[in-house]
């Protein structure tokens, strides 16, 4: 029988209590795993990591008062031994590569269910990367044959920070609120807006808002 000291300690970072509860119940059935802490925001997550020393963090990309992608980058810098894996409604085909670049070791979409999270945790604990078979094949194909272009690739040209600004614009947030959310100056946010317009070939703020709203409401569940 495993004692708590023998179990893999998991931190759940998601702003939906029901999601955390569901994953927690599944993990409780695993004899060698346990939830050591939960968090709804990046700040809470970083504090929980320092206090509870988890082995794995399961992170949603959309959090209250912050974004999961930046949290993953912070973890890589501040807690390099901590393994992180994304569990999100966002489209794996668009976000998986960004997530891996940021420092995560796996990606599970919420439509796959909690049992896949456990499978993913077990795989990344062995030092491997965990992706869906479809996404793994796609990334191998890009590595062998080079990237292919698709109609949505213009948004793919945005940096991680520009993408975050673009998504928050689509949620209707004004510049000052975006700046507060991302811990940036309003001037920096305005600079990102201009870069986004240039990359997406958008000529004014009204069309930028229109495109951002369309992107924010585009189904990203796969």
pLDDT tens for each residue of 185-210: 999 999 999 999 999 999 999 999 98
- State the span(s) of the chain assigned CATH 3.40.50.2300: 4-144
Is residue 100 pLDDT above 50, yes or no?
yes
Is residue 8 pLDDT above 70, yes or no?
yes
Span of 17-26, 94-103, 183-192 with lowest mean pLDDT: 94-103
Q: How many CB atoms lie within 10 A of CB 57?
A: 26
Residue 144 has what pLDDT?
Answer: 52
Is residue 160 pLDDT above 90, yes or no?
no
Q: How confident is the model at residue 152 (pLDDT cuts 50, 70, 90)?
A: very low
Is residue 222 pLDDT above 60, yes or no?
no
- State the span(s) of the chain assigned CATH 1.10.10.10: 153-216
Between CA 179 and CA 183 the distance in angstroms is 6
Give me the phi and psi of 93, to 5 degrees please.
-65, -25
Between CA 84 and CA 104 the distance in angstroms is 5
Residue 93 has what pLDDT?
Answer: 76
pLDDT, the chain, mean: 86
Using one digit for the tens of pLDDT, what is the confidence trace for 108-150? 988 888 899 999 999 999 999 999 877 776 666 555 554 444 4
For residues 92 and 7, which has the higher predicted lDDT (pLDDT)? 7
Is residue 92 pLDDT above 80, yes or no?
no
What is the per-residue burial (b if ≥16 Cβ within 10 Å, else e) of 165-185? bbbbbbeebebeebbebbebe
Fold (topology level) of 153-216: Arc Repressor Mutant, subunit A (1.10.10)
Using one digit for the tens of pLDDT, what is the confidence trace for 46-81? 999 999 999 999 999 988 777 899 899 999 999 999
**What would the CATH number be for the domain defined by 4-144?**
3.40.50.2300
- Tally of residues, the chain: 222
**What is 88-128 written as a DSSP string?**
ESS-HHHHHHHHHHHT-SEEEEGGG-HHHHHHHHHHHHTT-
Q: How many CB atoms lie within 10 A of CB 140?
A: 10
């Amino acid at each position: 029988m495993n004692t708590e000291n023998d179990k893999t300690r998991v931190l759940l970072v998601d702003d939906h209590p029901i999601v955390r509860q569901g994953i927690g119940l599944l993990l409780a059935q695993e004899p060698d795993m346990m939830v050591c802490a939960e968090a709804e925001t990046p700040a809470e997550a970083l504090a929980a990591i320092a206090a509870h020393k988890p082995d794995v963090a399961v992170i949603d990309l959309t959090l209250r008062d912050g974004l999961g992608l930046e949290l993953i980058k912070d973890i890589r810098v501040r807690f390099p031994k901590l393994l992180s894996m994304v569990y999100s409604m966002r489209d794996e085909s668009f976000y998986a590569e960004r997530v891996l670049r940021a420092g995560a070791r796996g990606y599970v979409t919420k439509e796959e269910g909690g049992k896949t999270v456990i499978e993913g945790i077990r795989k990344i604990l062995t030092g491997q990367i965990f992706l869906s078979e479809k996404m793994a094949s796609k990334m191998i194909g890009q590595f062998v044959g080079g990237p292919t272009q698709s109609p949505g690739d213009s948004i793919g040209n945005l940096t991680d920070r520009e993408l975050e600004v673009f998504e928050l614009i689509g949620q209707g947030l004004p510049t000052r609120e975006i700046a507060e959310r991302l811990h940036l100056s309003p001037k920096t946010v305005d600079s990102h807006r201009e870069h986004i317009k240039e990359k997406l070939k958008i000529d004014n703020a009204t069309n930028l808002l229109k495109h951002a709203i369309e992107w924010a409401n585009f189904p990203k569940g796969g």
